[in-house]
Amino acid sequence: MTESFDMPIRPRRLRHTATLRAMVSETTLSVSDLIYPLFIDETVQVKTEVTSMPGVYRIPVSLAAEAAQEVADLGIKGVILFGIPLHKDDCGSAGWDDDAVVQQAIRSIKAQTPDLCVIADTCFCEYTDHGHCGVLKGEHVDNDVTLKNLQKEALSYARAGVDVIAPSGMMDGTVEALRSALDQNGWQHIPIMSYAVKYASAYYGPFRDAADCSPQFGDRASYQMDSGNIREAIREAQLDVTQGADILMVKPGLAYMDVIRAVKEVTDVPMAVYNVSGEYAMVKAAAEKGWIDERRVVLETMLSFKRAGADLILTYHALDVAKWLNDA
C-alpha cells in the first residue's frame, strides 16, 4: 500500500503539463529578441562559409539584400553588419568611405527591406592592416585620434541610411563623441547601441577568422576589459549612459551572465548581449559530435540570457532559433 503525505504546498503541480509550464513561465523568448550578425565581404564573389563557424558565411555585397530578406522573412527585426574591405591601411580609412563595403550593404538592404533595423558595428579592427581598433601611436591605440575617425565612420553610416550605430572599440569617450557628431549633423534620431562592457576574451577566436581582423601583434587587453572585473563593468556602463547611449551591450555573454544582471540592475536603458563566435562554435562542434542536443542547448542558452536581464540577443544562432520558435 502506498503511503500518502499531506503536502498542501506542491510546486510540481504547475509543472504537470506543458501548457501549465508555458502559462507560468517567468521568462520568455521571442523572435523579436534576436539580432543576426552579417559579414559583408568585398573580397568574395559568392557566399563563403567560415571554417570555424559552420552555417555562418561571408557574403558578397551583391547578396547582402538577399541575406537580409531571409532574416526579415523569419520575423527577426534586426541585423548587425561587419565589413571586410578590399583595402586596409594603418588608420582604417575604408571605414568612412561612403562607397565602402558596409555603406553599400546598408543602402542595398534598406532598399530591399526598409523595415528591417540595420545596425552598423562601428570600429576599425576589420579595416586596419595591423588589426587593432584604431590609429596606433607606437604599439598602443591613440584613443583621441581614433575618436575623430569614429565620428567620420558613424557619419558615413548615417548618410548611407543606417538605423543604429554600434561602437565596439572600447575607446574612452566614444559615445559622447559619436552623439555629438550625429546631433550636430542632423542625425539626432539615430540611436547608439554601445558595446559598453566588452571583455578581452578568448571566446572571440572564430570571429577573427570570419572578419579577418586578428591583431598583427600583441592583443587588445589595453582597451578591452579584464575578465575578472565587474565593478569596472558597472562604471563603464554608467559612463556610457551619461554620455548618451540608448542601448548597452555586454560581450561575451555565456561566461558573463552575472555581469549582465549587475549592469541591468543599475541602468535604465535596454540591455543587449552578444552571444559570441566562440560560444557558437563550441555548441556547433559538440552537436556535430552528437554530444549535445543542439536545439535544446541553444534555446536554453537564449532563455538564460533573457533571465539574466538581456532584452536583445545578438547571436549567430538567430536563424535557427527563429525557425524553432516559429515552428513551436
Angle at 183 between CA 178 and CA 185, to 5 degrees: 100
Distance CA 183, CA 323 (A): 38
Residue-wise pLDDT tens for the chain (328 aa)?
566 777 788 888 888 998 888 888 889 999 999 999 999 999 999 999 999 999 999 999 999 999 999 999 999 999 999 999 888 888 688 888 999 999 999 999 999 999 999 999 998 888 887 766 777 777 777 888 889 989 999 999 999 999 999 998 888 899 999 999 999 999 999 999 999 999 999 898 886 666 555 655 545 567 788 999 999 999 999 999 999 999 999 999 999 999 999 999 999 999 999 999 999 999 999 999 999 999 999 999 999 999 999 999 999 999 999 999 998 7
Instruction: Give pLDDT, residue 311.
Output: 97
Cα torsion 80, 305, 294, 324: sign: negative
Instruction: Give pLDDT, residue 33.
Output: 97
Instruction: Give pLDDT, residue 79.
Output: 98
Residue 121 has phi, psi (to 5 degrees) of -60, 130
CATH numbers and ranges of domains, the chain:
28-327 (3.20.20.70)
Can you name the residues that pair with 118 across neighbouring β-strands? 79
Instruction: Give pLDDT, residue 211.
Output: 56
Instruction: Give pLDDT, residue 252.
Output: 96
Distance CA 25, CA 119 (A): 31
Instruction: Give pLDDT, residue 224.
Output: 82
> 33, 313 in Cβ contact below 8 A?
yes
> 233, 197 in Cβ contact below 8 A?
yes
Residues forming the active site: 198, 251
DSSP one-letter code for 185: T
Query: What is the 3-class SS of 227-243, one letter each residue?
Result: CCCCHHHHHHHHHHHHH
Instruction: Give pLDDT, residue 207.
Output: 67
